[in-house]
Amino acid sequence: MRVLAAMSGGVDSAVAAALAVEAGHDVVGVHMALSRNRDQFRTGSRGCCSIEDAGDARRAADVLGIPYYVWDLSEKFEDTVVTDFLAEYEAGRTPNPCVRCNEHVKFEALLDKATALGFDAVATGHYARIVEHADGSRELHRSPNADKDQSYVLAVMGPERLRRAIFPLGGFASKAEVRAEAARRGLAVSAKPDSYDICFVADGDTRGFLRERLGSRPGQVLDVEGNVVGEHDGAYAYTVGQRRGLALGRPAADGRARYVLDVRTDTNTVVVGPAELLSVDRIAGERATWLVDPTDAGDDVEVQVRTHGAPVPAGVRATDGGAGLEVELTGTPLRGVAAGQSVVVYRGTQVLGQATVSRAWRAARAGVVA
């Protein structure tokens, strides 16, 4: 097959490209330039897509003996991932930019462009497994490397794009194995640190990034009785479940810690309260994507609401003809579920589908959290 290998400049994508070459595919490497103002160097392990990363990807391609190109997808990235990130926070929701990047950039813009150029598939360094059956149908499964599993952020890709994706790292049980593989092949990125945080917020200061883009919008922090207990510089900078950085001027009567329960952008207020009010037992989702027939979901599944969150037992029912879903937790309630997060549905290791959280209901007492 003709395979386009997405090369970020890190060790995972370099080894994925190497394994695609070893499998006998006709491989071309491409680095996606996603930022309009890329720093020349990373800040330690923060950020990605820097000029340094592009150079590392080129050197890896040279070692593998494959053609290498840089594609400027910064406009697409800004218009979809960054714009969505800002709009969601401004609306009092908590987005996952990695999900949007996989949806709109890696498995839309990149894969669609690759298909237009005659490539059969795109190979990436994601940690996830694809199980292919004799009839050609495919399933997306968790990686055996639980610490690095990325099936959660890949659930949004949908069945059509899953058919044109290759995840060569699907069988690796640890990052150490991948680094050893890179070293064995003479790839200089074998010891390169992983990137963390949000790639377009390289210094890790998300609140500062939001303030720079959205401006100062002072308002009040309220407790559940409506008393003013503090002030903020912008409700958009808070998320449900947050405990640190609240700067409350009035302590709780019982002395216990308080958490963000709600972000009300209509009144520019943030509501805080005790931890028990963060627990939810029902979730509604919108903009659903299914990798199976939606009717295959049921009472014997699990859901996950954070990239590396623990899956919990649930019953899931598709709504609106598959465009949405409803979740009834059948075990321990989840804490701090925020609108804008992704809720991903699993049966065992298999990904069934996902949706964006639109509402969540408190388990401790009636009322909408998000």
DSSP 170: G
Tokens of 312: 């919990």
Sorted by sequence, the CB contacts under 8 Å of residue 281 that are 6+ apart come out as: 328, 329, 333, 334, 361, 363
Give me the half-sphere count of Cα atoms (radius 13 Å) on the Cβ side of residue 217: 20
Query: How far is it, in rounded angstroms, from Cα 72 to Cα 17?
Result: 20
H-run or E-run covering 13: helix 11-22
List alpha helices for 79-200, DSSP H: 83-90, 97-101, 111-116, 151-154, 158-162, 175-184
- Is 49 a catalytic site residue? no
CA distances to 33, 210, 260, 305 from 241, rounded to whole Å, are 34, 18, 5, 13
Q: Which of 48, 49, 98, 199 is catalytic?
A: 199
Count other Cβ atoms within 10 Å, centred on residue 71. 17
Count other Cβ atoms within 10 Å, centred on residue 139. 17
DSSP 204: S
Residue appearing with tokens 């909408």: 368
- Is 48 a catalytic site residue? no
CA distances to 50, 66, 120, 343 from 81, rounded to whole Å, are 17, 30, 26, 18
CB 51 within 8 A of CB 40: yes
Question: Catalytic residues, which ones?
Answer: 101, 199
